[in-house]
Structures are given as structure tokens and as C-alpha cells.
């Protein structure tokens, strides 16, 4: 009986101490007040006519961050003595974006889950996503390996009208230092923006786009393809300078033919496979 009483007093003391600690934690009390009647499915504006502006930052292959204002999650920092709080993305309203021309069908770039988000006293919400984006684009390889490709990445908001949510890029172009990490391509120009979709199936929706102009780094292909091909062609012309009765002319011609055969095998492995617009190098 005494042991049971001791355990009961111990549990009561622990719970009482915990309540005292929580009562002294200003951030905890602020969260309790902010999220008491908060509904994450409702767009965070007090006037439905207000447009929720979502700013996004894009780097090469990644959506770096999202930021917007949540009017329901603002407070007086002088009164609460708290300038910002941290919560998870499943507890607040989150913008919805879909990749229109991804590797698969149109898919939601889900930002839900247990991602940590920082909220400031003004209602500003900062979400560091670092979400990798995989997309596909049509290429023209006629001038391979000195080709330049233009790739478009499109994001669309399916569940929100243009009068509800708008997306605005924080950066108008991609920083050049991101392209140095790729050994095959270099970004020579880029543009990031937003516009209204004009297609019938996605009318009145905000369409955010990223346009990339990529140039292939051709040094590797010049060393293993273009250079040897030029030398073999030069040697093949030298066979016409040898007299017909010379036996070296036949052996040189056979050597050039074998060299062309080996180079053709190498080219078949390196050149992109495209029957509509094959590379001029393969035609040569």
C-alpha cells in the first residue's frame, strides 16, 4: 500500500513539474493558442478576395524554398516574447504544385508530411524544401556534340484558381555556379517566371515555368570522336598519293577501313539514338 502511494505521489510530482515547465515555455503556449482553432485545409486569408502569393526559389534541378504569408498565424512578438516558431508541414496550410512535364504523368509535388517549417510573428512562412525535380524535354541532336538544347520545366496549381493563389519566383534566372557541377552540360541562359495558362484543360490557372538553355561540353567527344575521325579521313586521302603498283597502298587502305569500322562501333555507343533527326556526325 505504501509503495502504491509512493508511486502515485511520484507520478503526480512529475506531471506537476511538467505542467510548470510548459507554463513557463512561451513558445509552447503560443503554439497552443495559434493552433487551437486552426484548419490546415482553409486558405490562410481573412478576406477571401485576398490572393495568397507564394514565392519560390529554384536552382538547377531543385525547388529550394517556398514562402508565403499565413494571416492566421501572426502575433505580437513584444507581448509574447517570441519572434518565430517551428512546426511541421502537416499542421498548417501548404501550397500545392504539380509538375506538368515530369518524367511520369502529372504528379503532385507533395509538401505534406513532417517537414519542419519556420513561422515568423508577421505571419511569414519559410519552408526550405530542397525538393528534386525530374523532368524530360525534347532534344535536337543534329549538331552533336556541339548542340544547344532548350528545356522547359512547367509547374501548375490544379486545385487553386488564379484568383486564390499566385506563384512568384524569387530569382529570375539560375545562378551560374550551379552549372559547374555537371561534367556534360553548362547553362548558358535561363529564365524563371509565371504566366496564366491558356490551354482549355488548364484555363485560369497559374503556370510557373523554368526555361533552360543548355550547351553540351564537347571536349570529351572531340577527343574520342571528332579528332580521330578527322585524322582517319586525312590518312584516307593519302592513299591516293601512293602509286598503284605500290603494295603499301592496299595495306594502308585496309588499315583505314578497319579504323573506320572500330570508330563506327565507338560512335554507335556514344551517339544518341534518334531516327528523326540523326546527328550529322553519324551521317558523315
Sign, CA torsion 144/145/146/148: positive
**Count of CB atoms situated within 10 Å of the CB of 249:** 16
Separation of alpha carbons 75 and 22, rounded Å: 19
The larger pLDDT score, comparing residue 5 to residue 238, is at 238
| pLDDT at residue 193 is higher than 70 | yes
Separation of alpha carbons 19 and 27, rounded Å: 14
Residues paired with 200 in a beta bridge: none
Encode pLDDT of 83-137 as tens digits. 888 888 888 888 877 777 765 544 455 566 678 889 999 999 998 887 777 777 7
Query: Which pTM value belongs to this model?
Result: 0.68
Encode pLDDT of 195-209 as tens digits. 665 555 555 566 777
Listed by start position, the domains of the chain span: 2-34, 52-217, 220-283
Look at residue 267 in the predicted model and tell me its pLDDT: 75
Encode pLDDT of 206-232 as tens digits. 677 788 888 888 888 888 888 888 887
CATH architecture type of domain 52-217: Distorted Sandwich (2.70)
Percentage of the chain exceeding pLDDT 70: 74
Backbone φ and ψ for 133, nearest 5 degrees, come out as: -115, 125
Owner of C-alpha cell 508530411: 113
Backbone φ and ψ for 248, nearest 5 degrees, come out as: -65, -25
| pLDDT at residue 238 is higher than 70 | yes
Residue 234: pLDDT band (50, 70, 90) is confident
Amino acid at each position: 500500500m505504501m509503495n502504491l502511494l509512493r508511486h502515485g505521489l511520484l507520478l503526480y510530482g512529475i506531471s506537476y513539474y511538467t505542467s510548470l515547465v510548459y507554463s513557463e515555455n512561451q513558445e509552447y503556449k503560443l503554439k497552443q493558442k495559434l493552433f487551437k482553432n486552426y484548419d490546415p485545409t482553409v486558405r490562410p486569408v481573412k478576406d477571401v478576395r485576398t490572393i495568397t502569393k507564394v514565392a519560390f526559389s529554384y536552382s538547377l534541378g531543385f525547388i529550394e524554398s517556398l514562402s508565403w504569408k499565413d494571416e492566421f498565424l501572426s502575433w505580437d512578438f513584444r507581448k509574447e516574447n517570441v519572434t518565430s516558431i517551428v512546426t511541421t508541414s502537416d499542421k498548417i496550410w501548404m501550397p500545392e504544385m504539380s509538375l506538368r512535364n515530369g518524367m511520369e504523368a502529372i504528379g503532385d509535388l507533395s509538401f505534406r508530411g513532417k517537414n519542419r517549417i519556420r513561422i515568423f510573428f508577421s505571419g511569414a512562412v519559410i519552408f526550405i524544401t530542397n525538393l528534386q525535380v525530374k523532368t524530360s524535354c525534347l532534344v535536337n541532336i543534329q549538331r552533336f556534340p556541339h548542340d544547344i538544347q532548350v528545356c522547359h520545366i512547367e509547374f501548375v496549381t490544379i486545385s487553386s484558381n488564379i484568383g486564390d493563389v499566385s506563384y512568384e519566383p524569387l530569382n529570375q534566372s539560375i545562378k551560374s555556379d550551379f552549372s559547374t557541377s555537371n561534367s556534360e552540360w553548362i547553362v548558358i541562359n535561363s529564365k524563371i517566371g509565371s504566366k496564366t495558362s491558356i490551354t482549355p484543360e488548364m484555363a485560369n490557372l497559374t503556370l510557373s515555368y523554368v526555361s533552360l538553355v543548355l550547351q553540351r561540353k564537347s571536349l570529351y567527344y572531340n577527343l574520342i570522336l571528332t579528332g580521330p575521325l578527322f585524322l582517319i579521313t586525312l590518312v584516307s586521302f593519302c592513299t591516293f598519293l601512293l602509286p598503284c603498283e605500290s603494295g603499301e597502298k592496299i595495306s594502308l587502305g585496309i588499315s583505314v577501313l578497319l579504323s573506320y569500322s572500330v570508330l563506327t562501333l565507338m560512335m554507335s555507343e556514344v551517339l544518341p539514338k534518334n531516327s528523326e533527326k540523326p546527328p550529322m556526325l553519324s551521317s558523315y
